[in-house]
Chains A and B, each alone.
Chain A
Amino acid sequence: MNYNVDERGYYGVFGGAYIPEMMYPNVKELADNYLKILNDKKFKDEFHSLLKHYVGRPSPLFFASRLSSFHNTKIFLKREDLNHTGAHKINNTVGQILIAKRLGKSRIIAETGAGQHGVATATVCALMGMKCIVYMGQTDIERQLPNVLRMKMLGAEVVAVTSGNKTLKDATNEAIRDWISNPADTYYIIGSVVGPHPYPDLVTRLQAVISEEMQHQVKEVSGKKNPDYIIACIGGGSNAIGSFYHYLNNESVKLIAVEAGGKGIDSGETAATMVTGRPGIIHGSKTMLMQTDDGQITEPYSISAGLDYPGIGPIHSYLHEIKRVTFDNVTDDEALEAAFRLTRLEGIVPALESAHALAWLGKHQFHKEDVVVVTISGRGDKDMDAYIKYMEQTNYYKSE
């Protein structure tokens, strides 16, 4: 089975490049060059060298023995949280900034929701000495102040977006508007497997390093050749596709993508696109989309700022349609509970996003000998406010 994008930029009926003519030359330039660049030996050497010495890859695959006992199976954690800047996002930004340099661009723009992709972009811009502008919704700026300050410390200009709902989708619109207005010198580093072709494929290939490493690590750590399950959280879908990529053709491996159910899929406050969405167009891509009957894009909700995107990468819409990946969702509360469980059993504070993947462990009956890989996409430092609030609400301190 071929899971790669076709030459027209589609995965089945999903994907494409639904962009205004003003963006066409830039997107076409990238589409015409990205595979050439990715396959160039010099690029590969530079990319892998930075991943090793700067990002700190390979990220470990850790056998979580106490969590395994709790769930009565064998759980292995793919530790993307140990990357430089604390999440998988940097795999993508390191790759894309090298592409931007090869295309002769000097000005980098990016969108960010929680600020993780913004920080990862500002980081590589500082490393390469490139100008960096990050678009961030006003609402998110207020919610994620430490990341805003971090980006500024790294030398990035953070532009507050006040249109629409002032969150990730609006920040993405504004980054697109910037690119339309600055076509010559600017490169847009998109943070997930979303946007017009070739971005979904480009980001997929850059994040595929996660599952590439797993292939050796699973054997080494578990003794089995292949895992039985790979579980990842999903918003736009970059850590999920990175975790699945090299196993897509290996049908014996069950692939599970866990969306943010928010306060429940029927509550109206959710980010579970696969359950509540239908095909539509967002940010230049045809994909599953949360929208009104009239085709207006709606604002998703999740306790986790990295999962509340109203669309999802087009490759995931395809993998969902052909049932290669199982999509499910967990609520805010289930994710919080899972985050505390991992913290207490393994001494690892996960990001709220990653906690969604962990929460799915409690929703499924595994065999004792199953090898279950869970991708910890990021660390929880940025989510301390939410965790502190949870501890106060549940009298967590007293109960210990």
Chain B
Amino acid sequence: MNRIDKLFREKTTNILSVYFTAGYPLIDSTVKIVRALADSGADMIEIGMPFSDPMADGPVIQHSNEKSLQNGMNLKLLFNQLSDIRKEVKIPLLLMGYLNPVMQFGVENFCMQCLRVGIDGVILPDLPPLVYTEEYLSIFNKYELYNILLISPQSSSERITAIDKISRGFIYIVSSSSVTGSKGNFSDDQMSYFKRVSKMDLVNPCLIGFGISNRETFMNAGIYARGGIIGSAFVKILGNDGDVIKNISQFIKEFKSN
């Protein structure tokens, strides 16, 4: 069974998924951060594949992408770094990034490497659902890889239903009309959008991402969806001084405490 399905079967609420960019802050940080997140109690991890032109990302993740590329990160190296990750980490691992580097690596080769190292799903925001189903679905299925699709406040109910039909694992609810890293608490409009989606009785479970920056927004995400995804707020602490592992454990503890 795909580890994503297993997670959603075993844990019903407040699932905590955390994004960070591979190769940031240092080229060999990737595995250490995955390990620290798993040890601290994160339920799922999204490992960012850096791209030169991350058009859906705000300044924090842009910066981590830039730095990671300067450090020399690329897909071949990332898969090498992750070669033995399944010996110690059991929670679902996803790769998140943009289509072009994956296309240049070769989509089939990419899926094959994901299967080899134990990646459960992929998030490629600039791969449209239609292109995915027409060109890549069969390859993803062959390598047992889930493609996680996004919905946004502007997505119509018909479109959300259509996306639900071709989704596996979970649906990524983008919380607001914004790039990653927006701050503040959820507005009434956002709350009613979450409510609208939660009433749709979708086949797939949902997680809310973009703008989950503190415990309050995370707990709110848990009301209308199965949990939340933290990206920029987490990436920001990786650039802080001090003991990175200790910072990570403290950061996760805040979201996990009841």
Contacts and interface: CB of A to CB of B under 8 A. Distances in A.
B138 interface: no
B118 to A, nearest CB: 22
Interface string B132-172: 00000000000000000111101110010000000000000
A1 B163 CA distance: 36
A280 B103 contact: yes
Interface residues of B, number: 40
A280 B150 contact: no
A18 B252 CA distance: 34
B131 A295 contact: no
B101 A20 contact: no
B56 A297 contact: no
Contacts of B239: none
A163 interface: yes
B125 A21 contact: yes
Given A177-B58, A282-B53, A294-B101, A25 B154 contact: yes
A20 B53 contact: no
A182 B54 CA distance: 18
Contacts of B99: 18, 281
B177 A20 contact: no
A331 B201 CA distance: 60
Best-surrounded residue of B105, B128, B159, B182 (most CB of chain A within 10 A): B128
Contacts of A282: 53, 100
Given A20-B150, A281-B126, A295-B104, A177 B55 contact: yes
B51 A296 contact: yes
Contacts of B152: 21-22, 24-25
A183 B189 CA distance: 14
B96 to A, nearest CB: 12
B172 to A, nearest CB: 9
Interface in A283-329: 283-284, 289, 291, 293-298
A56 interface: no
A18 B126 contact: yes
Contact of B126 (A20, A183, A295): A20
Contacts of A177: 55-56, 58, 179
A299 to B, nearest CB: 9
Given A280-B100, A295-B102, A181 B177 contact: yes
B2 to A, nearest CB: 22
B232 to A, nearest CB: 13
Interface string A16-34: 1111111011100000000
A19 B155 contact: no
A383 B155 CA distance: 45
A295 B177 CA distance: 28
Contact of B177 (A16, A163, A182, A297): A182
Contacts of A26: 154
Contacts of B128: 16-19, 24
A180 B104 contact: no
A88 interface: no
Given A177-B179, A281-B99, A183 B55 contact: no
B52 interface: yes
Contacts of A164: 52-53, 62, 66
A173 interface: yes
A297 B100 contact: yes
A281 B58 contact: no
Contacts of B151: 21
B154 A183 contact: yes
Best-surrounded residue of A20, A173, A176 (most CB of chain B within 10 A): A20
A178 to B, nearest CB: 9
Nearest to A278: B104
Contacts of A284: 126
B212 to A, nearest CB: 16
B69 interface: yes
B59 interface: yes
A169 interface: yes
Contacts of B52: 164, 296-298
Interface in A243-295: 280-284, 289, 291, 293-295
B71 to A, nearest CB: 13
Contact of B103 (A170, A176, A281, A283): A281
Given A19-B128, A283-B55, A24 B66 contact: no
A284 B150 CA distance: 16
A163 B76 CA distance: 26
B127 interface: yes
Contacts of B159: 24
Nearest to A19: B126
A-B pairs, top 7 by smallest CB distance, nearest first, are: A295-B104, A295-B101, A25-B154, A20-B125, A296-B52, A21-B150, A294-B74
7 contacts: A22-B154, A25-B154, A173-B55, A280-B103, A295-B104, A296-B52, A297-B53
Given A294-B101, A295-B105, 14 more contacts: A16-B128, A18-B127, A21-B150, A25-B155, A164-B62, A170-B53, A173-B55, A181-B182, A281-B99, A281-B100, A283-B55, A295-B104, A296-B52, A297-B53
